[in-house]
Amino acid sequence: MTARILVVDDIHANVKLLETRLLAEYYDVVAALSGQEALEICHSSNVDIVLLDVMMPEMDGFEVCRRLKADPKTTNIPVVMVTALDRPEDRVRGLEAGADDFLTKPVNDLQLLSRVKSLARLKNLSDELFLRAATAREADIEGLLLSRTEDIKTRAKLLIVDENEAAASRLRDLLSRDNEVDIVTEPSAALISVVEGDYDCVIVATGFTTYDPLRLCSQMRAIERTRLLPIILIAEHDEASLVARGLDLGVNDYLMRPLDRNELLARVRTQVKRKRYNDLLRKSLSQTIEMAVTDSLTGLHNRRYLDSHMSMLFTRSISRERPLSVLMTDMDHFKLINDTHGHDAGDDVLRDFAGRLHRNIRGIDLACRYGGEEFVVVLPDTDAQMAAVVAERIRETVASTPFLIHNGTASVDVTISVGLACLQPRNDSVEKLFKRADIALYKAKKNGRNRVVGAVA
Ligand SMILES: [Mg+2]
């Protein structure tokens, strides 16, 4: 995955150093020599990650970070603070300013590239999420998405896999303020815990006596349920090659001992955020699909769904030589309800009708809001005689009980007219079938409404 990375440092040689390494990995690099310049670039162009020097004249890195995070337009750009190794207090200030990650000078290649890769993925996910929210604005799921992003801020569930119980407990102490933390010390039990627990991130230590911790990582990547679950490796300072192999296997990030608490928290937070964006994206995708085929007022299927689904039902009935019936229903004098009681009352009636309709058909029947106050029910495996019974039952359930409106403070009498048509064994089509149902409905209206009329074959 490529990304556009902004390198900010007041010393030109430092910029060049990072730029060369990133260009070698085919990243797109832009440079800024001051905080002000960095802010301008972030505002005027698309930046995926900012590598930000802390010590700069005029505006320092903390201030740049604060401004980026305070502006809705730039708040989602991951910021990596590049700090001096001997100044741990910089990390606390960086976290307070909203930094997503840290690198220490001199910047080590493995660290640089694993952080950049991880944050580029995160940025990509959040972009996709917001793009989708923007696209879905008309469908009214934006609010839903935004309320769901609150989920991202709740406590994370973490699993520590470490044979050394004392070390695992110390790690838990570091993490337990912001997270719920479980520990597993038995390598053979680890995979089961991972699969069965609903974790946001798994932290794997390398120091097992006989077990290869990378085996767990590769098993997790092979199983569908844990394929996207973030893994952070905790390694000893001399295990760079093991870390490199881990990153190749799909480990998301790593830390080396001795552990820095702020760094640990920042890394875990980034991975958890990514996992939750991922989850959110998948949820929003299935919701988008559902919204596209559902009528938002009544919760029934919409006409688009009927159109795409009807040909399948039709073909199946023909090939199996099974009956198929269609009810075309229309509310009588619906305009009068709207005009007399207002459109909210009209909506109440439509919703109530959808419920009554739904309660009087089977699971395999397909009920759709066809448009306005017109509804279509498709009844597979149902002949004309049976369909007439169903249609009469629906008509009766509407006419017999008045519909409540204005939050139940008033009610209104409603009737419906129904046109019924059945599949003909020869020379029929979806269009002809619907046309016959439509003509039957017209007759029901013409003959006085509140009745069911069967089509002439
Ligand atoms: Mg500097």
> In this structure, are 274 and 338 located in the same domain?
no
Distance CA 105, CA 128 (A): 32
Rg of the chain on CA atoms, in Å: 31
Q: Is 293 part of a structural domain of the chain? A: no
In a domain, residue 366? The reply is yes
pLDDT in tens, the chain (457 residues): 679 999 999 999 999 999 999 999 889 999 999 999 999 999 999 999 999 999 999 999 999 999 999 887 888 899 999 987 667 778 778 877 888 888 888 888 888 988 898 888 878 877 776 666 655 544 444 454 454 555 556 789 999 999 999 999 999 999 998 899 999 998 889 999 999 999 999 999 998 888 889 999 999 988 888 888 999 999 998 998 999 899 888 898 899 898 888 888 888 988 888 788 778 777 776 677 777 788 989 999 999 889 878 988 898 899 888 999 999 999 999 999 999 999 999 999 999 999 999 999 988 889 999 999 999 999 999 999 999 999 999 999 999 999 999 989 999 999 999 999 999 988 999 999 999 999 999 999 999 999 999 998 6
Residue 397: give its domain's CATH number: 3.30.70.270
Residue 112 lies in a domain: no
Do 321 and 444 share a domain, yes or no? yes
Backbone angles phi, psi at 180, to 5 degrees: -95, 130
Strand partners, 253: 232
Q: Which of 37, 163, 373, 431 is catalytic?
A: 373
193 and 145 assigned to the same domain: yes
How close is the Cα of 36 to the center of ligand 1, in Å? 14
CA–CA separation, 447 and 55 (whole Å): 86
- Token couple for 312: 């399948």
- Quote the ligand 1 centre to 287 CA distance (angstroms): 47
Residue 135 is assigned to a structural domain of this protein: yes
Cα of 11 vs centre of ligand 1, distance in Å, is: 6
List, in sequence order, the alpha helices (H) in 230-302: 240-249, 261-293
Q: Is residue 445 part of a domain?
A: yes
Determine phi and psi for 122, rounding to 5 degrees. -60, -45
154 and 238 both lie in a single domain: yes
How far is Cα 64 from Cα 74, in angstroms, rounded to an integer? 11
Distance CA 441, CA 451 (A): 9
- Give the end of a domain, one of 230, 250, 285: 285
Same domain, 222 and 323: no
Nearest CA to 200 out of 236, 165, 252 is that of 252
CA distance to 162, 307, 368, 380, 430, per residue, from 383 (Å):
66, 21, 20, 9, 16
pLDDT given for residue 136 in this prediction: 52
Q: How far apart are CA 400 and CA 215, in angstroms?
A: 68
What is the tens place of the pLDDT at every residue in 299-342? Answer: 999 998 898 789 888 988 998 889 999 999 999 999 999 999 99
One domain for residues 23 and 153: no
Q: Which among 107, 137, 165 is the end of a domain?
A: 107
pTM of the model: 0.58
Q: The tokens of 65 are what?
A: 């970070």
CA of 54 to the centre of ligand 1 (A): 6
Give me the residue label for tokens 């990030």: 253
What distance in angstroms lies between residue 12's CA and the mean position of ligand 1's atoms? 10
In a domain, 113, yes or no: no
**Beta strands of 176-323 (E only): which ranges?**
179-184, 201-205, 231-235, 253-256
CB atoms under 10 Å from CB of 411, counted, come to 16
Q: Are residues 144 and 268 in the same domain?
A: yes
Exposed (0-12), middle (13-18) or buried (19+): which is 64, by Cβ within 10 Å? buried
Q: Which two tokens stand for residue 33?
A: 């020599």
The count of structural domains within the chain is: 3
127 and 264 belong to one structural domain: yes
Q: Which of 48, 78, 107 is the last residue in one of the domains?
A: 107
- Residue 225 sits in a domain whose CATH number is 3.40.50.2300
Are residue 163 and residue 125 in the same domain, yes or no? yes
At 219-263, the pLDDT tens digits run 998 888 888 899 999 999 899 899 989 988 889 889 989 888 888
pLDDT of residue 61: 95
My answer on whether 51 and 103 are in the same domain is: yes
How far are the Cα atoms of 198, 308, 311, 347 from residue 305, in angstroms, in the given order? 34, 5, 11, 21
128 in catalytic set: no
The answer to whether 331 touches 345, Cβ cutoff 8 Å, is no
* Predicted pLDDT of residue 151: 55
Q: Are residues 68 and 127 in the same domain?
A: no
Give me the domain span that covers residue 403: 303-454
Q: Residue 254 — φ and ψ, nearest 5°?
A: -150, 160
Structure confidence at residue 223 (pLDDT): 87
66 domain residue, yes or no: yes
Q: Is 48 left (phi over 0), alpha (psi -120 to 50) or beta?
A: alpha
Q: In angstroms, rounded to a whole number, what is the distance separating the alpha carbons of residues 52 and 59? A: 12
Paired tokens of 75 = 């708040």
Distance 23 CA to ligand 1 centre (A): 21
> Does residue 154 lie within any of the structural domains?
yes
Query: Are residue 314 and residue 447 in the same domain, yes or no?
Result: yes
Using the mean position of ligand 1's atoms as its centre, give its distance from the Cα of residue 267 in Å: 24
